[in-house]
Each structure stands twice: as structure tokens, then as C-alpha cells.
Amino acid sequence: MKNTDLQNRKNAATPRGVGVMCDFYAERAENAELWDVEGRRFIDFAAGIAVCNTGHRHPKIIAAIREQLDRFTHTAYQIVPYASYVELAEKINQRAPGKFTKKTAFFTTGAEAVENAIKIARAATGRPGVIAFTGGFHGRTMMGMALTGKVAPYKIGFGPFPSDVFHAPFPNPLHGVSTADSLKAIDTLFKADVDPKRVAAIIFEPVQGEGGFQPAPADFVRELRRLCDEHGILLIADEVQTGFARTGKLFAMEHYNVTADLMTMAKSLAGGMPLSGVVGRAEIMDAAAPGGLGGTYAGNPLAVAAAHAVLDIIDEEDLCQRASALGDKLKTKLVALQDNVPQIADVRGPGAMVAVEFCKPGKQEPDAAFAKLVQTKALERGLLLLVCGVYSNVVRFLFPLTIENAVFDEALAILETVLKETATA
């Protein structure tokens, strides 16, 4: 089987709207490595867009899925429930930040989790409005697109979007947006566009994903909490990409002395199986009437079994600490390269949620072409990287937290070579 043959078949059989980054096709994967159908090896610093924090095909996850396969694969939890769903909800309730009684509901995708968080917030408050932020990404469903703060490629040609969604700028010090600027913009929204008493929720990512791995400043998160408390608004933390040890904590909100009322999760929750969830204050989670939440595949038993294994792996292999150690090593390497690579404008991110932003030397002008060239050259050498950011000038690093030290060092050597070559090209 050849990649070119599959590429031609893909182009003939599938729509162009499903954008595909690579022109090669996966045959197998193991931990932080994958091989294409022609036998070429790649080091995976994408991890399925932060889905495989516990690596590809972790033995404990495979064993958990196999055990569940021998029992049953589907009943629809809303028809015939099963203990593993309840047990997983109990674990999430216990481990999610916040010293209050919690409840958790499971769904299938991150976008579903976001949609249901908005539904719950509206049911609990009786209000329609939602405030989100520029650069934020919350999914490709209609409400997800409405909340997302980036037009291309997510919104082009798909409107109109649901109403009562408002955007404020997210803090971005490199590009001149301070916490004060963001808060002033929210105040302006309250004066010009929406009465705060009509706002059900403010939703934000503790670290923006598609927006360029921009961490929310601590003072910004504190002020969001204060604004929500002042106006009876619910605070929703979208942890779809930040969750499950990626930032050095099980959840990124643990980095703040602030708790959200609702929190969404997905991606690495089930180590490659489709599973998402919403956890929050029990009285808020109970606002929706029976039948108002759910889905045919929501809380699929195979995915739930995988999620139990993921939580065990994170504890047994101390992946929160490992995320911090690997992330620090990567950031140290990138900072040390700044003298040789003047295009490096910023190195940032908590734990192993690391990004490097490129701007034209001596300027604050984003350099998307440089980021793309770094990605292309790395791929030629067998290192898979992702580009992100409002200006598409950021390379983000999402290696599995279980990556072997030797493979990680090999990847850093490739990265160093590529950055130096690209800087002098």
C-alpha cells in the first residue's frame, strides 16, 4: 500500500472540508512513535491533538478495553445504566477542583461537552447570554463555532450562528493585550451590548489551545470569578485540551486559587477513546430536567473503561510531575536557542503544554511562514508538530507524557537542527 494511492482515494472519497495535515497514512503506533503504511517512523509531538497524554496503545488501556469487550459494548446508559459510568463520575467529582459537592455527566466529544455546559448554565440561571474570548476554540458545532473566537477556518460560510454570544479579547501580553484591557472590554460589553443580568455564563480556556497556548493570567481568572459572583453569572472552564496532567496538574484550574462552577473535559480523558464530560456544582448540574442531557453514545462503556485506566496511569506513573519535568526541559532548550533563532519571540506554557511563538526579528510582527517552515522541515526529519495561534505563528508541543527519555531527546535534537536551519535559510 502506498501513501500516494491512499491520498488519491481520500481526495476522491472524502470532502475537502475535513482538512488533513499529513499526506501519509498511519499503520501502527506505540507510545510516542508511529509508522506509516510505507514503514516510515515518526516521533509524535501531536498525540492526536492532546488526546494521547498516556501514549499510543498503553498496555493498561488496551487491557481495560479488552476486559469490557468481553462483557458488553453498548446498552445506552440512558436505557440500561452500568456501574463503571457511576464509578468514573465519582472519581471525577472527587478529583476536580472545588470544595463543594459535584456531579458529572459524560458525553462523546469535546464540542458536546461545551454544548451541554451551556445548556446546563442556561437552565440553572434562566438567562441566555454567554461571553467567550478571542482566540478561544470550543468546537465545530453551531454553538461551538459561535463561542470560538477565530473565523478562519472554523466559521467561514457556516453562519448565522446562535445569538446571545459575545466576545472579549483574551489577555495576550506579547501582542499588547493586558488583563486590564480584557476586563475593560467585558465592562464595555455590559454597557453597550448585554445586561449582565442576562448573561448565564463566561466560558474560557485556562490555557487557550488553538489560540496559541496562551495561559490565562492569574489576576484575570480571579477577576472573572469576581465578576461572575457579582452578577450571578456562572464561570465555565473549558479543560478539553488542558486536562489530565498536560499542564502539570490533573486539571489546569488547579494552578489558580479559583474554582469554576462548571468544567468541560474530553481529549485525554479516555486515552484515545471518544469520551467527554461536564463536572460542576451539584445543584447547577441538576438544573436540567430528566432527558435534557445525554446522547446515544454518551458515556460509552469501552471509553469509560479506558478512562478508569487513564486515571490509574496518571497516578501510578506520576504523569503530572513528568509533564512538568519534560516541559521544563523543552522550554530550557527553546530559550537557549533564542540567540541563534531570533525569530523566537516567546516560549510559554505550564507543564508540558508548551509553545514557541515566532515573530520577524526585531519586530512584534507574527511570522506564520517561519512556523510553517519549521513544521515542514521537522516532518521531513520524522518529527510531527502542530501549528496554532490567532496568527498561525505558534508551534505547540503535545508529546505523550509517557514518552521514553531517549525518544524525547531525539526529538529535541531534531527540533534544534530544524530551528537553526530555518533561522538561516
Give the tens place of pLDDT for each residue, 274-323.
999 999 999 999 999 999 999 999 999 999 999 999 999 999 999 999 99
The reported pLDDT for the residue numbered 285 is 98
Whether the Cβ atoms of residue 210 and residue 150 lie closer than 8 Å to each other:
yes
Round the average pLDDT of the chain to a whole number and report it.
Answer: 97
Return the pLDDT at 396.
Answer: 98
The answer to whether the CB of 104 falls within 8 A of the CB of 251 is no
The number of folded domains in the chain is: 2
Structure confidence at residue 178 as a pLDDT band (50, 70, 90): very high
Whether the CB-CB separation of 261 and 102 falls below 8 Å is answered with no
Supply the pLDDT for residue 364.
82
Q: Quote the cell numbers at residue 50.
A: 492532546
Number of Cα atoms under 13 Å in the Cβ half of residue 379? 17
Are 104 and 25 contained in the same domain? Answer: no
Give the residue carrying C-alpha cell 437552565: 123
Q: Give me the helix-helix angle, 405-423 and 368-380, nearest 10°.
A: 130
C-alpha cell at 89: 463520575
Cα–Cα distance between 259 and 271 in angstroms, integer?
A: 25
Q: How confident is the model at residue 425 (pLDDT cuts 50, 70, 90)?
A: confident
Confidence class for position 1, pLDDT limits 50, 70, 90: confident
Clarify whether residues 381 and 312 are in a common domain: no
Residues 168 and 246 in one domain: yes
pLDDT digits (tens, 9 = 90+) for 59-85: 999 999 999 999 999 999 999 999 999
CA distances from residue 261 to 14, 77, 120, 122, 280 in whole angstroms, order as listed: 40, 25, 11, 13, 5
Is 347 within 8 Å of 394 (Cβ atoms)? no
Statement to judge: residues 270 and 374 lie in one domain: no
Computed from CA positions of residues 173, 175, 176, 177, in that sequence, does the dihedral angle turn out positive or negative?
Answer: negative
Task: Note whether 327 and 240 are same-domain residues.
Answer: no
Give the end of a domain, one of 286, 316, 346: 316
State residue 283's pLDDT score: 98
Instruction: Output the domain CATH number for residue 115.
Output: 3.40.640.10
- Indicate whether 244 and 147 sit together in one domain: yes
Q: Percent of the chain beyond pLDDT 70?
A: 100
Asked if 34 and 401 count as a contact pair (C-beta separation under 8 A), the reply is no
392 near 237, Cβ under 8 Å?
Answer: no
Residue 326's domain is classified under what CATH number? 3.90.1150.10
Domain boundary among 316, 332, 353: 316
**Chain centre to alpha carbon of residue 122:** 24
Residues 72 and 152 in one domain: yes
pLDDT mean over 99-106: 98
Query: Quick one: which of 38, 214, 58 has its CA closest to 137?
Result: 214
Residue 51 has pLDDT above 90, yes or no: yes
Task: Tell me the pLDDT tens digit for each residue of 10-50.
Answer: 999 999 999 999 999 999 999 999 999 999 999 999 999 99
Upper half-sphere CA count for residue 12 (Cβ side, 13 Å): 6
Q: Are residues 345 and 287 part of one domain?
A: no
The span from the CA of 93 to the CA of 257, in Å, is 18
Write down the pTM of the prediction. 0.97
Cross-strand partners of 181: none
Confidence of residue 56 (pLDDT cuts 50, 70, 90): very high
Task: Check whether residue 151 and residue 218 sit in a common domain.
Answer: yes
Q: Which of 269, 288, 316 is the last residue of a domain?
A: 316
47 and 104 together in one domain: no
Q: In sequence order, what are the residues at sequence separation of 6 or more whose Cβ sits closer than 8 angstroms to the Cβ of residue 194?
A: 129, 131, 164, 166
Same domain, 211 and 261: yes
Query: Cα angle at 304 between 116 and 103, to 5 degrees?
Result: 45
- Residues with Cβ within 8 Å of 166's Cβ and at least 6 positions away in sequence, in order, are 129, 130, 131, 132, 189, 193, 194
Range of the domain at 235: 62-316
- Mean local confidence (pLDDT), 196-225: 97
Same domain, 15 and 105: no
Quick: pLDDT tens for 340-365: 999 999 999 999 999 999 999 987 89
Please give the Cα distance from 327 to 324 (Å, whole number).
Answer: 5
Strands in 199-204's sheet, in edge-to-edge order, are 102-107, 276-281, 262-265, 234-238, 199-204, 129-133, 165-168
271, amino acid identity: G
